[in-house]
Structure 1
Amino acid sequence: MPIVDPRTGNPLNTAENASQSSTSQADPSTYIVDVDMSNFQQVVLEGSVNTPVLLDCWAPWCEPCKTLTPILEKLAQEYAGAFVLAKLNIEEHQQIAAQLGIRSVPDVKLISQGQLYDQFQGALPERQIREWLSQYIEAPQEAPPSPEEQAEAALAAGDAASAQAIYQQLAQEYPEHYDYQIGLASAILAAGNATEARTLLDNLPPEHRDAAKARGVRARLEFGEEAPDQQELAALEGRDDSEACYKRALRQVADGHYEAGLEGLLHVMKTDRAYGEDAARRTLLRVFDALGADHPLTVAYRRRLFALLY
């Protein structure tokens, strides 16, 4: 499993990487380790000569840490010894934290050959952490899909029951990883239980309740309440007026077909800006907010909206 420094193209671990055959059989306790003054030198500094070390600096009072650490542990198990996850509680080991210059947590550092190669702060999404890690360590080949990926695939295939079961188990195993609870709310909503989904979202901590992923599920819930039901949609069939186009777009957004819904809303703006007192534009902005500012659809359709307006 090649480990490279993207700045030079050279192996990150210059002391020949351990073979896959040996690391794949390793006991998880050998590559997920709590570090303190007694073993920091051995695990992080000396250990990184043979295997890269991901140093997770966290604290018990840090809410983002409670989201990030389970992700790092899952990746460590998935990579099965290609790197060691060293977890440092800075509250209990302030001397080490001071020596490392830790000012805020979570703070994750990649150590190899006893040297700092890269780092990031904050609870990044799992996909972004994978991309960051893949710059240095090749992901396991033909790795089975993660439970979260299986749940997302089930939702995409319309199997809300399977997605709900997977997210229910993940939420029970990792109660402080709130993305799993948001995923569960999404699956529950897809199964048709809007009241239960709303309750789950309302009970999230404020910083997660207002996050982009939760807003997306809540928007689907609210759009579902506003959108026409199947009987009303059937009555609109064959109509191409502004009202029909707008309501069909609402239904598409409510069902999670964001691109089709955005296209429909933009069409209403182009053809009948006055409809519903500029309802299409206002709804476009609500969808952007639900998806998040960095979502590709938000970026693309915000640009088209700007061009249409100005």
Structure 2
Amino acid sequence: MSGAVDLSALKERADAQRQQAQRPAAAPRADQPPNGGPAGGGPGASSTPGASSGPAVLDVTDETFEAEVLERSQRQLVLVDLWAEWCGPCKQLSPVLESLATRAQGSWVLAKIDVDASPRIAQAFRVQSIPMVVAIAQGQPVAAFNGVRSEAEITQWVDDILAQLGDVLPGGDGAGAAAEPEADDPRMVAAEEKLNAGDFDGALADYRAIVEVEPENIEAASAARNLEFVLRAQAHDPAIVETAAPTDVDAQLAAADVLLMSQRPEEAFDRIIAVVKVTAGDDRTRARTRLLELFELFDPAEPFVITARRRLATALY
């Protein structure tokens, strides 16, 4: 995952928040929670001390992400547990992770992040489904998995990561030596040049080709999804908004695209949520996947995105 997920924006935002908090008599901004507000608590989260690195399990928010995840990962492996209160599988996985973190004796620490309370972090990790666990070392994601895994599987996964990082994190042969900066991927550069030149079809083909070879390339996958939406939405007849039959899944998804292109995101999301409520199987999965793709076109902190995510969760569970 290193290089595919850019967490620098979260660090910059934390710096800005810290500067804001240091200004005398400065009131919190309307779009920013007061500094020192309550941290989100994960299911069963605890602060059981580790052997050498303080708490083994941390509740992390937008405000504490830099210190508790990015800075801590310079000296210690950090596993980020992305969860939500409404997520049943999250409540199965979290106790396993917390137990393993407590028994890890400081070799790694667990950082729990409520994606509803910290949507910008979820956006930075390009979260599409939870639970999602991301391993962070030296400020960069190095591995990840989605869904519930057994204690044995997670233990092996962590052991493999620690073995690979033995010469990178402090205490290894490299004593914290910085990794060499990664060169720009020439394939991504070529796709971006086509995009800037207005060759959208060519750029999309390039991004898809990268994803076909490297399904884990999050940057290319995200660029492809964005371009797919624009080209797909422009191909629809705007009249589909009025003519789509309630039971015609393809027509309703097309209508949602048109509504979104017309700057009516709430109506677009409502269309797809209505489809999720009345469908099952492949049709329901297709509608849910499309809605998650559309969410990624917006700042996750937008109120209408947060509301739609909750309504989708209700419709699914």
| Common fold by TM > 0.5 | no
Structure 1 or 2, whichever has the larger Rg, is 1
Bigger proportion of residues as helix:
1
TM-score, normalised to structure 1's length? 0.36
Between the two structures, name the one with larger relative contact order (CA 8 Å, sep ≥ 6): 2
